[in-house]
């Protein structure tokens, strides 16, 4: 990354993370978060105040695109804080945003129907263990009961580490590399099953702006299983996260309320 800033006084250091694509640039009282080849969707997210402000975007000689965002000193939400009403309201804003939807529609291959998600999972069918095979059978059996033709902007990775509150009390949802147009329960399912106690689902959904129903619960279970299976077999999933996903898969499969 440093070679892109020769002739400047910026100090470049790694921002950590699993991909090695994120950096911190500092000079006197200026500080930026830099990322290589982040989603072109970032500008629209910045305009909607979903992510910290985008300062500039540059294409460098090797073809990479570097983005710089305003550095934000922030608190990363813990698992317990995901039940906060502010999380529900921001996710609702994202799912209902027409400007975000229109922008993401311009990005090729960003729309994922239930059938397309299921098709992607079939590529790993030979690798399924007993639990994964049971989960996949559930998806096949109930796919026609959760059909939806309304696709909204979904984040695609509802890990609590992607939510943060700035010192100015601004809530952000970051790391949009998995963004897609899909049924809104794709995001809701993992968030609810991972972080919200079952007896708080109705309250949390009311804060989000949707009433609980059995049909919604069926979709939550279907997309929860689908998302978790996808996480297990994604090449970039760290081993520890894969183990957590396997545990979550069993929890969702054991949900006998629907």
| pLDDT tens by residue, 96-109 | 999 999 999 988 77
pLDDT band at 196 (very low <50, low <70, confident <90, very high): very high
| pLDDT tens by residue, 110-138 | 899 999 999 999 999 999 999 999 999 99
- Superfamily of the domain at 2-71: Phosphorylase Kinase; domain 1 (3.30.200.20)
Q: Is the pLDDT of residue 177 over 90?
A: no
Which fold does the domain 75-253 belong to in CATH? Aminoglycoside 3'-phosphotransferase; Chain: A, domain 2 (3.90.1200)
Q: Is the pLDDT of residue 3 over 70?
A: no
Q: Is the pLDDT of residue 28 over 50?
A: yes
Q: Which residues make Cβ contacts (< 8 Å) with residue 166, sequence separation at least 6?
A: 52, 72, 73, 74, 172
* List 29, 64, 157, 183, catalytic entry: 157
The reported pLDDT for the residue numbered 7 is: 44
Percent above pLDDT 70 for the chain: 94
Highest mean pLDDT (candidates 50-59, 128-137, 142-151): 128-137
The reported pLDDT for the residue numbered 8 is: 58
The reported pLDDT for the residue numbered 220 is: 98
Same fold, 2-71 and 75-253: no
Sheet holding 171-173, edge to edge: 74-76, 163-166, 171-173
Higher pLDDT, 206 or 71: 206
Cβ atoms of residues 75 and 164 within 8 Å: yes
Q: Is the pLDDT of residue 13 over 80?
A: no
Mean pLDDT of 41-64: 89
Mean pLDDT, the chain, as a whole number? Answer: 90
Helix (H) or strand (E) holding 141: helix 130-142
Q: Is the pLDDT of residue 19 over 60?
A: no
Angle at 98 between CA 96 and CA 100, to 5 degrees: 95
Of 87, 58, 74, 49, which Cα lies nearest the Cα of 194? Answer: 87
Domain parsing of the chain, residue ranges: 2-71, 75-253
The reported pLDDT for the residue numbered 6 is: 40
- Active site (annotated) includes residue 157: yes
């Amino acid at each position: 990354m440093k070679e892109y800033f020769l002739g400047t006084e910026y100090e470049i250091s790694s921002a950590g993370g699993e991909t090695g694509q994120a950096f911190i640039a500092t000079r006197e009282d200026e500080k930026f978060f830099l990322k290589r080849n982040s989603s072109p969707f970032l500008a629209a997210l910045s305009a909607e105040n979903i992510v910290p402000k985008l300062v500039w975007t540059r294409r460098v000689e090797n073809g990479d695109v570097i983005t710089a965002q305003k550095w934000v000193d922030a608190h990363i939400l813990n698992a317990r804080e995901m039940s906060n009403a502010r999380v529900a309201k921001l996710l609702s804003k994202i799912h209902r945003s027409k400007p975000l939807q229109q922008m993401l529609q311009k990005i090729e291959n960003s729309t994922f129907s239930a059938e397309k998600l299921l098709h992607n999972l079939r590529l790993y069918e030979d690798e399924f263990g007993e639990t994964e095979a049971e989960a996949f059978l559930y998806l096949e059996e109930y796919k026609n009961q959760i059909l939806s033709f309304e696709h909204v902007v979904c984040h695609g990775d509802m890990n609590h580490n992607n939510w943060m509150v700035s010192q100015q009390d601004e809530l952000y949802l970051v790391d949009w590399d998995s963004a897609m147009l899909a049924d809104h329960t794709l995001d809701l399912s993992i968030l609810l099953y991972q972080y919200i106690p079952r007896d708080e689902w109705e309250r949390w959904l009311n804060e989000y702006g949707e009433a609980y129903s059995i049909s919604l619960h069926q979709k939550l279970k279907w997309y929860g299983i689908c998302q978790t299976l996808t996480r297990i077999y994604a090449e970039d999933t760290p081993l520890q996260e894969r183990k957590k996903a396997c545990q979550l898969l069993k929890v969702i499969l054991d949900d006998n309320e629907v």
